[in-house]
């Protein structure tokens, strides 16, 4: 890979202060950034179709307590707030 960039004087001075050429300094910055990057996420498992997803979500839903509509009113969520 070849990248051509006009290097500002202050960047070149930083590289020289570290005893590196500007190209080596850029390479070291890229290497450092790559090491600090978060690890890649694992590949996703097999995708389920929407019907399977909904069926699994509804499994055992009959065991969940029924709540009155008031339980979902805005006031019930923000009782302790003005």
Please report the pLDDT score of residue 18 as a whole number.
Answer: 92
Q: What is residue 38's predicted lDDT score, i.e. its pLDDT? A: 79
Grade residue 4 by pLDDT with cuts at 50, 70 and 90. low
Backbone angles phi, psi at 60, to 5 degrees: 65, 15
State residue 17's pLDDT score: 93
18-66 pLDDT, tens digit per residue, is: 999 988 998 999 999 988 887 777 776 777 788 888 888 889 888 888 8
pTM above threshold 0.95: no
* One-character DSSP codes across 29-48: HHHHHHHHSPPPPPPP-PPP
């Amino acid at each position: 890979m070849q990248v051509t960039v006009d290097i500002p004087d202050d960047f070149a001075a930083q590289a020289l202060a570290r005893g590196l050429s500007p190209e080596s300094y850029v390479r070291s910055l890229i290497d450092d950034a790559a090491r600090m990057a978060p690890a890649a996420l694992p590949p996703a498992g097999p995708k389920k179709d929407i019907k399977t997803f909904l069926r699994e979500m509804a499994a055992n839903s009959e065991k969940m307590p029924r709540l009155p509509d008031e339980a979902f009113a805005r006031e019930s969520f923000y009782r302790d707030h003005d």
